[in-house]
């Protein structure tokens, strides 16, 4: 900032020579002056002192000029410090977190098995407690049975859609939706209805224009800027009754909600027709929370470090950890085990015109198993749309087991049973989970594990770790619970060891290899 000081003649009647004296004696005091500060001749009121009465007006005026210039800056700094204090306080709030599941009809566990709130109940609760706003990022919307396939089990999705309509129409809840651009293969009739009725603001992201490919694969809710849901469930009635899903809900946590809102705002602002991805995102989109500096929260009474990761890299403003980098970091910092439950696992880019090798996660898992003797378990889904290449890559990973002492990589395939009636429902009866749990971290994401989802497709991840102070003293319940879900599924009759399956067993899995899943 350039500051212009008026001429001294206009400020005072002090002669020029006095001003020169003031300048030479105040600004350039000699070594002799500084050596004897208490000598009478150096008194500040003496003839050689720097506080002659004639200099006082100039001093006052200069002080006033400095104050005029600096006070606004000091006030701005004070406001900024106060903002940081408020942000810090909001992060100190005691938040509640719970795992959330959709268990498909007909898939049962023993009574003593871990059980958590359903996605349907959780979404309904979020709608019911909303007071001002609901903001949702989703791949597509098909909550009504007529959207996909008429079936009695569509009632839960239809109920969610009805409750969202009523929340907007009757309680004036502001509903904002960011979604992938609808297409013939992936329409969103529900959001069309919401817009026609004037009950929601909807923006659609055109990834072909923005990035040349990919989709908005994210699935999360932000309610009143303080409650959050994030997980694998699409805004689809099948995700409530016919597909196995896993997510997390966090209540009364404005710090987390507002950080997730920054990701939503990236989607929202890229959802206009003229939008382009900026070479550098403005500061308002940036975050201070990431894998290096997580937010420290109290979750269910226990201190924890947590942050949100995002993909693809061009959608990550300053400070935001990339989703792929986050997964690799969690694997590399595991000490005892890495358990992964995903619909797809393949070290390839599979949605590009020509498949490309993408070994990032494969390398991380091999390094963990071979270098650190970490026990690796992968529970991948088996359904009509499983790719043969996935099985072959998983076999190659499993072959590494036993190559050296204490090297252990195990693979199982999880298959959701289906009746003849349920088999008629398209793209259903599958384990759609996308999470990882290690001995020191819980990760819940929205992406399948192939390279495309971390290069040009939008997704988010929630990471929760014990705080440094609590790591040895107190366990982290949410991590323990996620591990219990994995072990429940791993040891269930629905999971089969890949090594135990015959060639005929594997061949029978691939009933439909012609359909393009289009990032289901």
- Give tens-digit pLDDT for 406-420: 999 999 999 999 999
Sequence-distant (6+) residues with CB within 8 A of 446 are 217, 218, 219, 220, 230, 231, 232, 434, 459, 460, 461
How confident is residue 506, by pLDDT bands cut at 50, 70 and 90? low
Least confident segment among 152-161, 256-265, 282-291, 494-503:
494-503
Asked whether residue 98 carries a pLDDT value surpassing 50, the answer given is: yes
Indicate which residue of 434, 452, 456, 465 is catalytic. 434
CA distance 477 to 229: 18
- SS3 state of residue 109: coil
Comparing 468 with 402, the larger pLDDT belongs to 402
Comparing 28 with 103, the larger pLDDT belongs to 103
Instruction: Outline where 23-173 has alpha helix (H).
Output: 31-35, 56-91, 119-129, 145-148, 155-171
- SS3 state of residue 470: coil
How confident is residue 54, by pLDDT bands cut at 50, 70 and 90? low
Query: Under a CB-based contact definition with an 8 Å cutoff, are residues 466 and 300 in contact?
Result: no
Question: Is 219 annotated as catalytic?
Answer: yes
Task: Please compute the mean of the pLDDT values over residues 206-227 and round it to a whole number.
Answer: 98
How confident is residue 93, by pLDDT bands cut at 50, 70 and 90? confident
Instruction: Say what the pLDDT of residue 514 is.
Output: 46
Instruction: Say what the pLDDT of residue 154 is.
Output: 98
Comparing 29 with 164, the larger pLDDT belongs to 164
Sequence-distant (6+) residues with CB within 8 A of 65 are 3, 5
Tens digits of residue pLDDT in 333-366: 999 999 999 999 999 999 999 999 999 999 999 9
Indicate which residue of 226, 227, 262, 432 is catalytic. 432
Query: Under a CB-based contact definition with an 8 Å cutoff, are residues 110 and 152 in contact?
Result: no
Fold for the domain defined by 92-507:
Endonuclease; Chain A (3.30.870)
Asked whether residue 479 carries a pLDDT value surpassing 80, the answer given is: yes
Query: Under a CB-based contact definition with an 8 Å cutoff, are residues 205 and 179 in contact?
Result: yes
The 10 Å Cβ neighbour count of residue 83 is 10
Indicate which residue of 217, 226, 244, 262 is catalytic. 217
Instruction: Say what the pLDDT of residue 12 is.
Output: 37
Instruction: Say what the pLDDT of residue 468 is.
Output: 79
The whole-model pTM stands at: 0.82
Comparing 72 with 501, the larger pLDDT belongs to 501
Indicate which residue of 147, 190, 224, 236 is catalytic. 224
Comparing 26 with 55, the larger pLDDT belongs to 55
Indicate which residue of 219, 244, 385, 412 is catalytic. 219
Name the percent of the chain lying above pLDDT 70: 78
Question: Is 224 annotated as catalytic?
Answer: yes
Query: Under a CB-based contact definition with an 8 Å cutoff, are residues 485 and 99 in contact?
Result: yes
For the chain, the domains span 8-83, 92-507
Question: Is 151 annotated as catalytic?
Answer: no
How confident is residue 57, by pLDDT bands cut at 50, 70 and 90? low
How confident is residue 473, by pLDDT bands cut at 50, 70 and 90? low
Percent composition of the chain: helix, strand, coil (DSSP 3-state, to 5) = 40, 20, 40
Indicate which residue of 33, 87, 159, 439 is catalytic. 439
Which secondary structure element, helix H or strand E, spans residue 49, and what is its range? none
Residue with structure tokens 């990236």? Answer: 266
Least confident segment among 127-131, 153-157, 512-516:
512-516
Task: Please compute the mean of the pLDDT values over residues 170-187 and round it to a whole number.
Answer: 96
Task: Please compute the mean of the pLDDT values over residues 218-238 and round it to a whole number.
Answer: 99
- SS3 state of residue 294: coil
Task: Please compute the mean of the pLDDT values over residues 23-39 and round it to a whole number.
Answer: 36
Long-range (24+ apart) CB contacts under 8 A made by 73-78 are none
Which structure tokens are listed for 157?
């999705």
Q: Is 380 exposed, middle or buried (0-12, 13-18, 19+ CB in 10 A)?
A: buried
Tens digits of residue pLDDT in 302-337: 999 999 999 999 999 999 999 999 999 999 999 999
């Amino acid at each position: 900032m350039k500051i212009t000081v008026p001429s001294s003649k206009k400020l005072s009647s002090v002669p020029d020579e006095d001003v020169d004296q003031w300048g030479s004696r105040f600004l350039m005091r000699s070594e002799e002056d500084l050596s004897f500060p208490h000598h009478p001749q150096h008194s500040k009121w003496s003839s050689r002192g720097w506080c002659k009465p004639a200099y006082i007006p100039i001093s006052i005026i200069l002080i006033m000029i400095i104050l005029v210039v600096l006070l606004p800056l000091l006030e701005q700094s004070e406001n900024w410090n106060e903002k940081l204090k408020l942000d810090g306080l909001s992060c100190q709030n005691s938040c509640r977190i719970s795992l959330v599941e959709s268990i498909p009809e007909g898939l049962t566990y023993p009574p003593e098995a871990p059980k958590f709130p359903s996605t349907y109940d959780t979404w309904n609760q979020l709608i019911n407690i909303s007071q001002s706003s609901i903001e949702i990022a989703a791949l597509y919307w098909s909550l009504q049975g007529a959207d996909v396939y008429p079936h009695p089990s569509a009632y839960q999705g239809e109920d969610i859609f009805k409750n969202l309509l009523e929340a907007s129409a009757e309680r004036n809840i502001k509903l904002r939706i960011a979604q992938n651009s609808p297409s013939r293969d992936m329409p969103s009739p529900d959001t069309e209805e919401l817009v026609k009725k004037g009950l929601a603001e909807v923006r659609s992201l055109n990834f072909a224009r923005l990035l040349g490919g990919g989709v908005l694969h994210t699935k999360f809710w932000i309610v009143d800027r303080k409650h959050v849901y994030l997980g694998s469930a699409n805004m689809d009635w099948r995700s409530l009754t016919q597909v196995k899903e896993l997510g997390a809900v966090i209540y009364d946590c404005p710090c987390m909600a507002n950080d997730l809102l920054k990701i939503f705002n990236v989607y929202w602002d890229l959802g206009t027709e003229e939008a382009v991805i900026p070479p550098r995102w403005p500061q308002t989109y940036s975050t201070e929370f990431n894998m290096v500096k997580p937010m420290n929260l109290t979750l269910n009474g226990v201190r924890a470090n947590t942050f949100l990761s995002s993909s693809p890299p061009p959608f990550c403003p300053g400070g935001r950890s990339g989703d792929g980098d986050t997964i690799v970091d969690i694997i590399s910092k595991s000490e005892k085990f890495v358990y992964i439950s995903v619909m797809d696992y393949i070290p390839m880019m599979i949605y590009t015109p020509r498949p490309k090798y993408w070994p990032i996660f494969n390398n991380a898992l091999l390094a963990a198993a071979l270098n650190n003797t970490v026990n690796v378990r992968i529970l991948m889904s088996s359904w009509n749309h499983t790719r043969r290449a996935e099985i072959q890559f998983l076999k190659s990973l499993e072959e590494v087991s036993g190559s050296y002492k204490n090297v252990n990589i195990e693979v199982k395939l999880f298959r959701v049973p289906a009746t003849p009636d349920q088999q008629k429902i398209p793209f259903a009866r599958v384990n759609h989970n996308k999470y990882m749990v290690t001995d020191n971290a819980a990760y819940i994401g929205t992406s399948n594990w192939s390279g495309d989802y971390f290069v040009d497709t939008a997704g988010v991840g929630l990471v929760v770790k014990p705080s440094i102070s609590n790591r040895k003293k107190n366990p982290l319940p949410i991590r323990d619970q996620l591990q219990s879900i994995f072990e429940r599924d791993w040891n269930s009759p629905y999971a089969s060891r890949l090594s135990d399956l015959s060639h005929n067993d594997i061949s029978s899995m691939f009933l439909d290899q012609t359909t393009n899943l289009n990032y289901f």
